[in-house]
């Protein structure tokens, strides 16, 4: 691929909320040529022009269940059950992959790790630049404050989000556990109820809110008698995730095979 040519991009989950924003932003810039817009078999938007569906100009690419013949880069924000099919396609095409699907199980993660020996993959629970900064800060703050501070993670999303807690909430918890040498996931407690729900020392509370059209809010409370510190990230629109995904896609082009994170993309290490 020459330095001036556009990278051939396939978007999976193309008719979803995130997929449409990725298509809209990718279609309006010069780095990518959208050659595929993938949805599950039988989806009601199959056959529609991807650009029109995304609210931009016609792209002359129809929403389809089948992958195109060739791609340089694939961005997937679909469903966990579709991840392995996408990974298989990328390996066969020698295409790089940006995977933002959350709720992945160990089977899918194993497939991703195996594929990363052959292709370049960015796998992240959140593509936002600001959220990844919060990921980097969470463990550092927890370690600085020490064991006297209770930790609670609260995430808020729209009513249609299926997995709970969010993948980003789990990433925050993982980073905190690593920095404070807490066992993961044994330190996590999911909500509290009942007459004997007293907080145990060292626990990290995990709380999920599903309401309305909330794009995404993640808060970490560090509290001890006398004071509370709150770190919080609010996503005002899905464009912050879409721009991050496209930034990751651009960064991946011509990268050697490996499993990367948004920390690598953003140089936050």
87-130 pLDDT per residue, tens: 999 999 999 999 998 889 999 999 999 999 999 999 998 999 89
CATH of domain 129-234: 3.30.360.10
Question: Is the model's pLDDT at 257 over the cut of 80?
Answer: yes
What is the predicted pLDDT for the residue at 3? 47
pLDDT at residue 28, as a whole number: 72
Pairing between strand 32-38 and 7-12? Answer: parallel
Catalytic residue chosen out of the listed positions 6, 43, 161, 178? 161
Read off the pLDDT of residues 204-225 as tens digits, 9 standing for 90 and up.
Answer: 999 999 999 999 999 999 999 9
Domain 7-127+238-266 and domain 129-234, same fold? Reply is no
The pLDDT of residue 4 is 57
- Per-residue model confidence (pLDDT) at position 268: 79
Task: Enumerate the domain spans of the chain.
Answer: 7-127+238-266, 129-234
Q: What is the pLDDT of residues 170-186, one digit of tens each?
A: 999 999 999 999 999 99
Measured CA distances, 145 to 142, 169, 186, 260 (Å): 5, 20, 21, 29
Is 92 a residue of the active site?
A: no
7-127+238-266: CATH superfamily: NAD(P)-binding Rossmann-like Domain (3.40.50.720)
CB count within 10 Å of CB 178 equals 14
Marked catalytic residue, from 157, 207, 218, 233: 157
- Note if 157 is an active site residue: yes
Bridge partners, 69 (sequence order):
none
Cα torsion 112, 116, 120, 122 to 10°: value is: 40
The stretch 155-159 carries a mean pLDDT of: 97
Closest CA to 103 of 136, 80, 128, 134: 80
Q: Which pTM does this prediction carry?
A: 0.84
């Amino acid at each position: 691929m020459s330095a001036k040519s556009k990278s051939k991009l396939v978007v999976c989950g193309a008719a979803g909320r995130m997929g449409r924003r990725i298509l809209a932003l990718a279609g309006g810039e010069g780095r990518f040529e959208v050659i595929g817009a993938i949805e599950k078999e039988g989806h009601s938007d199959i056959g529609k022009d991807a650009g029109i569906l995304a609210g931009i100009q016609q792209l002359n690419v129809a929403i389809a269940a089948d992958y195109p013949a060739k791609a340089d880069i694939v961005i997937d924000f679909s469903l966990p059950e579709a991840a392995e099919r996408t990974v298989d396609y990328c390996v066969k095409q020698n295409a790089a992959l940006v995977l933002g699907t959350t709720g992945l199980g160990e089977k899918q993660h194993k497939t991703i790790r195996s594929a990363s020996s052959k292709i370049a993959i960015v796998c992240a629970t959140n593509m936002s630049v600001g959220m990844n900064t919060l990921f980097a800060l969470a463990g550092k703050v927890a370690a600085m404050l020490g064991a006297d501070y209770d930790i609670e993670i609260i995430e808020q999303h729209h009513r249609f989000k299926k997995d709970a807690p969010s993948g980003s909430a789990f990433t925050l918890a993982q980073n905190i556990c690593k920095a404070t040498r807490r066992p993961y996931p044994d330190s996590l407690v999911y909500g509290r109820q009942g007459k004997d729900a007293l907080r145990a020392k060292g626990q990290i509370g995990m709380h999920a809110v599903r309401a309305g059209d909330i794009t995404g809010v993640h808060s970490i409370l560090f509290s001890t008698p006398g004071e509370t510190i709150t770190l919080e990230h609010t996503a005002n629109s899905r464009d912050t995730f879409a721009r991050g995904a496209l930034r990751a896609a651009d960064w991946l082009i011509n990268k050697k095979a490996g499993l990367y994170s948004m920390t690598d993309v953003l140089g936050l290490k």
